[in-house]
Structure 1
């Protein structure tokens, strides 16, 4: 292996604990590592020089976590992050919170102070925390400390298996400085295997779900990110179940693309529209798959199902937390496949259920509901916002992956963005600012590693001017690594969504207005091409940017508004 390479002087370098770490990662299939070097982590970075792993040099640890997250979402692989002790580790936590909340598989290797200082409080030891692992507990699935070099391969292998087991998420492994630097007698790692644990649904829960579903005239489905993460087979099974039951389907923001928007049973992503919420409440059985039915998907906890509710999720802690349900802990794809087979075996057919919605076909009710959503938008002064979203969609190729920061455009995107053959990624899991550009940067590098070049490998990031300032330093990283990412910055001079909330609640906004740089000139100072355009020119600017190479920036100076929700409790016309 590369670890056996010789120094310029002809001597074989001494292998250390860092070598065991990077060798294990490579054996597990890792190709890319994100992060920033640090004093206690030097053993890791020295070992990288003898490894085929590519290191991506970020500028801020939080953005490195977002980049590893974006890489994992774009590729379906595990995102790998190297962190240094103390301040470096702590700076990453907000990024890890997003990955944890959204179920993104990541492996975090953090350095630690030397073994002699663990559990002590040595005066003057650089970067020391009382319990670094405890700091990561709220934002990672599991946390491990390795106390001897021979334990490094097993710890990383176990952590990898945990990261890819549903519910997927980041797993934290910390290795003390002296363990990373110490000479090892363990031979080079040649193979490693990390198999995810299986979570099939229990047979009696499948049977009970089928009994509820086949006896109900009106079934509706809310599809979440768990369906999407289960892959194309899960999406096909969802379509089978929906068609057998003639069930309208709405996708959560995380579930975007789980169900095709052009399907006659599709309610798109309008989970925040009361008209759609009313339809879900009217169902005799509401089937929620791969979603916690959390704040956004439940229309800010206003959803009150009048019928029975079946909730399927790989994370047992979300089951029955917001409503009484038949809770099924399972991978969404496995449950949907079993439901489709069981419904067919039970004799359920589409023809039996054509007029199940109060004597009307489900497709007619869906079409009417979608028309009412559009009519409500038509009645509001939202021409600028709707044009911007339509023009972005028109410019973006059907297969392009997009990454959205916490900005008004993303709030629109949660509901109205049809990802088509691409992927829609946003920070709605934890809702932290600064996600969009570094995640897109990581995603672009991941697609390049998959062999996608030109416009086929380009991604789009969308952010506001407030969130852009969280990640502006990563323009240097994108330039250094020649990432094919286009960054659309919607510059409205402040924290736009918070301005909207405060003006709506209090009649005025406080502390939302921001001085900011000239984003075009700032991007150009990094050597990144940029242009500033009006709302009317966004489509053309994006189309030009997508044809270019490397990173680029498009700035649109405009102030966007949110739509007004329809009235709570408005009864659906059925």
Structure 2
């Protein structure tokens, strides 16, 4: 006999799932019945929020959904923050949870882990949330989830299964084979032709690339070079243009030179971006574009939010960009002064950087020189806010953080663990502050247990420095920001990790190199006076 819990594991295998993040509990043990003999790896975080952040980091590096097994009630309330971050940044995440017995749902009898409606609670941070009432429903519901991940705007999906259903026998005729998934949407022919005509006729085009464009990185680069168009990256798009590329025009659309570039362009092509507030730090204002705006996005609703497009195109970014390249191939590449416009914008934007940008860019330069293929994962912390303005990632999916979208704290360490599990042959450096690291520092134990040698670059300013500065700039007497700071060296070593202080940048390369030789995390702590 195959139980519903065992069947779920076989279904996940058929969709190519290789890692699950979860904390077993009395309501989920039946999900684990088939896991011990499965090729799927199980990683045990120390908190369900950590499980969600690990799944998020894994998904951002691989492009595949991060999968979690979560306990009823408190497990679900714990993971909601991670789901919120993934929802805001369009990250695929599959959260499979238990829920109270089917005949007890919504009864309010004080059952263990009971909530009035677990599904309703998660609905706001999920593409959909579904309660499975019979094992026979699982193949269809799982296929719906993977259709979202593969063919629509990727976001978390929550599937809950009553504890009595998890242990039910599955009919032998029920197949655990993955269903064929729908293709990603291609652009409409008339829309892409009009966009191509506008771009071909443009004298001063510009391109904005968002996180939704990363799977079309090669096509985006080819199009930018053909059009000789300056490119503005959002945070999650960093790395689409390689470091030092002549068309790179910066990141932050709040900086006056970047705004000027976009507002003076006669055609702006925006791919996979919301034009969101967190891409315009710290002064978010609506762009006043003078030229035509073409927007490409998987989500038709998103195309109706934010800046209205003269030509909205619902399509997968890779397919749309490839078709634009095909249609423009007959047009001879023109000199639109793109490199000069980009260089001028980049140089002018640097004059608006605050002092911390230069400090952290020098640190990032050392990290990148020492570890050329590094993946940098950031919390909401000063180094991240700084590097969002200046850092040039070596490849797509090699720089991401929680300052975008939802903007949670505590993301960096567990997301870095997920990233390292996704790319074990690449170094992963977590950028964390002392405040944010305390949110999820317990996940060091999970990393030691799983032998994940993530490197944590800890910027220790003894408190919530960014918030303190924000309060002071608004003439608010700082309160609640000068918090007690523990000895991270002692804590890290207590978890079985390596830990060092770095007093100067000259010491950093050796410590980074040594960290890559270990099987456990390394905390490299640095203070602002460096």
Aligned-residue RMSD, C-alpha? 2.1
The 10-residue stretch of structure 1 (162-171 or 180-189) with the greater mean CA deviation from structure 2: 180-189
The correspondence for 2:350, drawn from 374, 392, 396, is 374
Whether the 8 Å CA contact 2:458–2:523 is kept in 1: the answer is yes
The correspondence for 2:166, drawn from 180, 186, 194, is 180
Match of 2:431 in 1: 462
Does 2:298 match 1:314?
Answer: yes
Does 2:43 match 1:56?
Answer: yes
Q: How far did residue 188 of structure 1 move?
A: 7.8
3-state DSSP of counterpart to 1:506: coil
Q: How far did residue 119 of structure 1 move?
A: 3.5
Match of 2:223 in 1: 241
Q: How far did residue 463 of structure 1 move?
A: 0.7
Match of 1:472 in 2: 441
Does 2:357 match 1:387?
Answer: no
3-state DSSP of counterpart to 1:92: helix
Q: 1:494 to 1:196 in 2, by over 3 A?
A: farther
Does 2:416 match 1:440?
Answer: yes
Q: TM-score, normalised by structure 1?
A: 0.87
For 2:184 and 2:350, locate their aligned partners in 1 and report how far apart those are by CA, in whole Å: 42
Q: How far did residue 191 of structure 1 move?
A: 2.5
Does 2:484 match 1:509?
Answer: no
For 1:162 and 1:421, locate their aligned partners in 2 and report how far apart those are by CA, in whole Å: 25
Detail structure 1 runs of 4+ shifted over 6 Å in the superposition.
none
Q: 1:259 to 1:79 in 2, by over 3 A?
A: same
For 1:559 and 1:294, locate their aligned partners in 2 and report how far apart those are by CA, in whole Å: 33
Q: 1:27 to 1:98 in 2, by over 3 A?
A: same
Q: How far did residue 20 of structure 1 move?
A: 0.9
Whether the 8 Å CA contact 2:254–2:285 is kept in 1: the answer is no
Match of 2:138 in 1: 152
Match of 1:253 in 2: 235
Match of 2:461 in 1: 492
Cα deviation digits, residues 215-265 of structure 1 (max 9, x gap): 32111111111111x2xxx22221222222221101100111122232211
For 2:327 and 2:495, locate their aligned partners in 1 and report how far apart those are by CA, in whole Å: 58
For 2:490 and 2:455, locate their aligned partners in 1 and report how far apart those are by CA, in whole Å: 16
Q: How far did residue 49 of structure 1 move?
A: 2.6
Match of 2:315 in 1: 330
3-state DSSP of counterpart to 1:412: helix
Q: How far did residue 380 of structure 1 move?
A: 5.3
Q: How far did residue 83 of structure 1 move?
A: 0.5
Match of 2:125 in 1: 139
Q: How far did residue 527 of structure 1 move?
A: 0.9
Whether the 8 Å CA contact 2:360–2:387 is kept in 1: the answer is no
Q: How does 1:87-98 map to 2 (within 5 A)?
A: 87-98=74-85
Whether the 8 Å CA contact 2:139–2:176 is kept in 1: the answer is no
For 2:184 and 2:359, locate their aligned partners in 1 and report how far apart those are by CA, in whole Å: 48
For 1:277 and 1:385, locate their aligned partners in 2 and report how far apart those are by CA, in whole Å: 24
Number of matched residues? 524
Q: How far did residue 535 of structure 1 move?
A: 4.5
Does 2:372 match 1:398?
Answer: yes
For 1:408 and 1:496, locate their aligned partners in 2 and report how far apart those are by CA, in whole Å: 8
Q: How far did residue 302 of structure 1 move?
A: 4.4
Q: How far did residue 37 of structure 1 move?
A: 1.2
Whether the 8 Å CA contact 2:361–2:387 is kept in 1: the answer is no
Whether the 8 Å CA contact 2:207–2:224 is kept in 1: the answer is yes
For 1:248 and 1:60, locate their aligned partners in 2 and report how far apart those are by CA, in whole Å: 43
Q: How far did residue 303 of structure 1 move?
A: 2.4
Match of 2:206 in 1: 220
Higher-Rg structure is 1
Q: 1:507 to 1:185 in 2, by over 3 A?
A: closer
Does 2:395 match 1:426?
Answer: no
The correspondence for 1:171, drawn from 142, 150, 157, is 157
For 1:323 and 1:58, locate their aligned partners in 2 and report how far apart those are by CA, in whole Å: 40
Match of 1:112 in 2: 99
Cα deviation digits, residues 253-306 of structure 1 (max 9, x gap): 011112223221111434442211111111111111111111133551242212
Does 2:401 match 1:417?
Answer: no
Match of 1:566 in 2: none
Q: 1:488 to 1:507 in 2, by over 3 A?
A: same
For 1:158 and 1:80, locate their aligned partners in 2 and report how far apart those are by CA, in whole Å: 15
Match of 1:6 in 2: none
Q: TM-score, normalised by structure 2?
A: 0.94
Whether the 8 Å CA contact 2:127–2:157 is kept in 1: the answer is yes
Whether the 8 Å CA contact 1:388–1:535 is kept in 2: the answer is no
Match of 1:4 in 2: none
3-state DSSP of counterpart to 1:266: coil
